[in-house]
Homo-oligomer: A and B are copies of this chain.
Amino acid sequence: MAQMYAAAKQGHRPSLARLLSLVERGGAPARAVGALAHREAGRGYVIGLTGAPGAGKSTLTSALVKTMKADGLNIGVLAIDPSSPFTGGAILGDRVRMQEHALDDGIFIRSMATRGHLGGLALATPEAVRLLEATGRDYVVVETVGVGQVEVEIAGAADTTVVVVNPGWGDAVQANKAGLMEIADVFVINKADRAGTDDTRRDLEYMLDLSGGYHPSDDGTPVWRPPVLTSVATDGRGLDELWASIRDHRAHLEATGELAERRRRRSEDELSHIVTEQLEQRARELRTTEGWRALVAQVEDREVDPWAAVSRLLAD
């Protein structure tokens, strides 16, 4: 594994792909890869990109990566959207569009399958991000569909989170409902050649006004108000502005010390997830014991009430 890891650092793509598969599968091999990667991670910068299904996230990701690559950057993409072309849900056109990067040396694209186990994905994603960083990626783009708590959480666990909406009444409201307002650092109204772009921009600005906290603070610390951009990902319009906005946000985070604080919180959240996972594992193991079966019988016979039964079980 150390050999595979060294090879991946040398740019050997099959080795990197194999290590990512191990991370995705979990268990002891994933932990070993994680231990290697953790030491050398933290150098890259993580962009989260999310939005409702059909918002054009994959096309936008593809166009963004193309724009970033023009700056000579080494980029990794993790696509966690179950409807993403990388994970097999979408139309062939998109799939082909993204494939143009697949053989490009500066870009590494990887789909992460949900396999109906999002909890596992929430744990595997930060490890996959670290592996991509540790093996030389300057930027890692994590694309998820912005529905469901776990997906939104994954998208929000980035240095800069881009939220994609579409023109038309209600899209901004939906984004708000899905919890996307809280995690957005940059908004992009994609498919901005369609009607309703101005309405959506006004709705988003209005909701930003309402949520407050975007005025300069008393001590003069600059405050970041998420800009509302427009794009037409299919022909590349607005992509330069999006990439510039991401760099602006990065500069802001670095200048204010917020980047370190964000990453500390992210570490803490990840540790919390792992603690929960490990305790749940312990609970699953408990359920296979003789003591468990005996207690269920006692509860059934009304000899002991459920809470007292669990107290006994956990005290052992």
Residue of B nearest to A308 (CB): B35
Please tell me if the beta carbons of A296 and B268 are within 8 angstroms of each other in the complex: yes
Tell me the complex Cα distance, A191–B279, Å: 46
Please tell me if the beta carbons of B39 and A270 are within 8 angstroms of each other in the complex: no
A99 is an interface residue with CB less than 8 A from chain B: no
Q: Which residues of B contact A34 (CB under 8 A)?
A: 305-307
Tell me the complex Cα distance, A42–B302, Å: 9
Query: A260-277: which residues lie under 8 A (CB-CB) from chain B?
Result: 263-264, 267-268, 270-272, 274-276
| Number of A residues with CB within 8 Å of any CB on chain B | 40
Given contacts A302-B42, A305-B35, A296 and B271 within 8 Å (CB-CB): yes
* Shortest distance between the CB of A276 and any CB in chain B (Å): 6
* Shortest distance between the CB of A134 and any CB in chain B (Å): 10
* Shortest distance between the CB of A16 and any CB in chain B (Å): 19
Tell which of A39, A41, A306 has the most Cβ of chain B within 10 Å.
A306
Q: Which residues of B contact A296 (CB under 8 A)?
A: 264, 267-268, 271
Please tell me if the beta carbons of B309 and A278 are within 8 angstroms of each other in the complex: no
Tell me the complex Cα distance, A51–B31, Å: 43
User: Top 5 A-B pairs ranked by shortest CB distance?
Assistant: A38-B305, A279-B279, A274-B310, A35-B305, A275-B283
Report A10-43 CB contacts with B as 1/0, cut-off 8 Å. Answer: 0000000000000000000001001100110110
A295 is an interface residue with CB less than 8 A from chain B: yes
What are 21 A-B contacts defined by CB distance under 8 Å? A31-B305, A31-B308, A34-B305, A34-B307, A35-B305, A35-B307, A41-B302, A267-B300, A268-B296, A270-B306, A271-B299, A271-B309, A271-B310, A272-B283, A274-B306, A274-B310, A275-B283, A275-B310, A275-B314, A278-B311, A278-B314
* Shortest distance between the CB of A129 and any CB in chain B (Å): 12
Residue of B nearest to A263 (CB): B300
Q: Which residues of B contact A309 (CB under 8 A)?
A: 271, 274
Please tell me if the beta carbons of A272 and B287 are within 8 angstroms of each other in the complex: yes
Tell me the complex Cα distance, A76–B313, Å: 32
A280 is an interface residue with CB less than 8 A from chain B: yes
